[in-house]
Amino acid sequence: MKKFSHHIISPFAFGTIVYLFFTLLYPYHLHYQEQYQLFLFTGDYFQSYLNIPGGMSDYIGNFLTQFYFYPSVGAIFIAFLLVLIQQLTWKTVKNTEKSSVYFPLTFIPSILYWALLCDENYLPGGLISLVFLMVFISIRITIKSENLKSIFAVLSIPVLYWIAGGAVVFYVLYSVLAILFIRKERTARNTIITFIQVGLAISLPFIAKAILIQHPIIKMWIGVNFYSFPNTFPFYAGGVFLLSVLLPFFIKSLMIIRFHFKWAITVLYVVIIIAGFVTIKTSSVFDKEEVMAYDFHTRMRQWDKVIAMADKKSPSSPLSVSCLNLALAKKGMLAEHMFEYYQNGTGGLLPDFKKDFTIPMVTGEIYYQLGFINTAQRYTFEAMEALPLYQKSARTMKRLAETNLINGNRALTLKYLKILQKTLFYSKWATALSKVIDDQEILLQHPEYGWLMTHKIQNDFFFSEGEKDMMLGQLFTANNKNRTAYEYLMAYCLLNKDLNHFMQYLSLAQTIGYKQMPISFQEAFIYSWKMTSQKAPKSMPSFISNEKIQSANAFLSKMNLPNASEVLKKDYGKTYWYYLQFRN
């Protein structure tokens, strides 16, 4: 019993590590995948997947992806599937090699697929396809009756092809290798059956293409959506499939001296653990995880968490900086604290539009919170239409329902809400909103929708991507109590180093009702004053503190030093003066 206890302990430990990894270290990759799909509990949705090879694997994969809304739940599914693959791999290994010393090697396919899942573009449908492949192989080697095994071997080809797509090729490969390497499988009957399997596997994609003429032939061969981008051939996933099939025969062919059991298995476990750690560490992209975390907290209105992340580690990418600036603005801290963090120009305030499905969502979130409802709606729709697998997105559907609600478009709002009512995690929200869609009084009291209804621009105007400061000015003019719009306008001028317009807009600050002038405004005013005015410092307006004047004098006195950038960074790195002089 002690000798074989590792058969239980090691899979449990492996599954626990996978669960903790995706729950604690990589949860926002799961959130990322969940938001870009829309799983519907309808017959038509199910039928659309059954109509193509590999559709069942995709359907189950998408079904599981919706649970990524809660990463701790999604991580359970991932851990279970990876452990299941390991167990099924061990079952096939035992069919060729009984020695338990090779048990650690059966974790290799699971570890490699875990590494693939660290890439946010690898979808769980491929993992489900691999599970189906290993299940069919396990059933094949379990059947004892030769007649029943022959029938199953033939009928399983079209079935596996339709539910797992191109995985059927590796299933046939296993049958070929079984005849070559396993003596008891080397019979005339099995040889004939294998030839039939090969013929079916080759002909089925062409038959499917003749029926489904709208799909390219490569889709008929691969079937499953392994990757977010359909034109990307899943070489790496195919390599894991191939290894899963070859591993039993590779182990059987190993000419290893039979060392003492405990010594040999310990060495194998150590090698697998070290190699697995290096593989996962190399495959993990925590810079992306950080950006996804910023985006998720922004999407969930968790402004304090966004700021806490920046306090722990200042963001550097335009998307994460833009999320931070929005969080600061929503907390009323943008003008006072923005230069305490790294700023990379206007791209970190309002990123430019790009034709993809990620940046428009983040940028659209900012425009939505500012009150540019039509712009946010356009960005959201563009993002949804740019999804590479031609699917819809739960996040975009929700936002389109919100923008149309704020704009008073009842018909379109109900259209999107009815779709979301057929989902698992958005149904409750959609149902509740549909009940109050006609009650204007309740909507105006809503802390978000009511604010946006009153602060949005009421008149039509042409939104110019190249004149964002003018757009912000129009938004503020529409409601001169919109502090967020004003601070974004001023921040845009400061980040663009446009002190002329900053000075023009500064007089509008009196409508905001600041108790004291924000620090960044004071710093910009002092610099502009000293560069353009001949008046004495004592004649500066009362909203400029003496402490800031003295600090500015000290900063300017050191500007001509050879290494001014390094000298000034320690004491002035979090001032607008430093950004103005040394940030490009």
Give the pLDDT confidence score for residue 462 in this predicted structure: 78
Q: Is residue 149 part of a domain?
A: yes
Contact 354, 325 (CB under 8 A): no
The pLDDT-based confidence of 186 (bands split at 50, 70, 90) is confident
Q: Is residue 353 part of a domain?
A: yes
Instruction: Produce one character per residue of 209-233: b if its CB has 16 or more CB atoms within 10 Å, e if not.
Output: beeeeeeeeebbbbbbbbbbeeeee
220/209 Cα distance (integer angstroms)? 6
Q: Whose CA is closest to 339, among 576, 577, 580, 583?
A: 576
447/436 Cα distance (integer angstroms)? 15
Arithmetic mean of pLDDT, 255-275:
77
**Interval 508-529: pLDDT, tens:** 888 888 888 999 999 999 999 8
Q: How many domains does the chain have?
A: 3
End-to-end CA distance of the chain: 67
Q: Is residue 548 part of a domain?
A: yes
Q: Is residue 27 part of a domain?
A: yes
Are 252 and 306 members of one domain? no
Q: Is residue 482 part of a domain?
A: no
**Interval 300-339: pLDDT, tens:** 999 999 999 999 999 989 999 999 999 999 999 999 999 9
Q: Assess whether pLDDT exceeds 80 at residue 104.
A: yes
Are 320 and 449 members of one domain? yes
**Interval 116-142: pLDDT, tens:** 999 999 999 999 999 999 999 999 999
Entry pTM: 0.92
Are 139 and 128 members of one domain? yes
Are 432 and 330 members of one domain? yes
Are 377 and 428 members of one domain? yes
Lowest mean pLDDT among 214-218, 371-375, 517-521: 214-218
Q: Is residue 295 part of a domain?
A: yes
For residue 42, give the H/E element and its range: none
Query: Can you give the C-alpha Rg of the chain in angstroms?
Result: 30
Q: Assess whether pLDDT exceeds 70 at residue 580.
A: yes
Give the pLDDT confidence score for residue 7 in this predicted structure: 86
Strand-pair partners of 272: none
DSSP reduced 3-state for 438: coil
CATH of the domain at 367: 1.25.40
Q: Assess whether pLDDT exceeds 90 at residue 389.
A: no
Arithmetic mean of pLDDT, 171-195:
92
| CB-based contacts of 120, cutoff 8 Å, min separation 6 | 29, 32, 33, 228, 288, 292
Are 361 and 437 members of one domain? yes
Are 340 and 247 members of one domain? no
DSSP reduced 3-state for 278: helix
The pLDDT-based confidence of 1 (bands split at 50, 70, 90) is very low
Are 316 and 430 members of one domain? yes
Range of the domain at 334: 287-455
CA atoms within 13 A on the CB side of 407: 21
Are 95 and 231 members of one domain? yes
233/181 Cα distance (integer angstroms)? 30
Q: Whose CA is closest to 78, among 137, 27, 18, 118?
A: 18
Give the pLDDT confidence score for residue 97 in this predicted structure: 67
**Interval 390-405: pLDDT, tens:** 889 999 999 999 999 9
Q: What percent of the chain has pLDDT over 90?
A: 74
**Interval 538-571: pLDDT, tens:** 567 778 888 998 999 999 888 888 888 898 998 9
Give the pLDDT confidence score for residue 98 in this predicted structure: 66
**Interval 451-483: pLDDT, tens:** 999 988 877 777 777 889 999 999 998 888 889
Residues 429, 431, 433: CA angle, nearest 5 degrees: 70
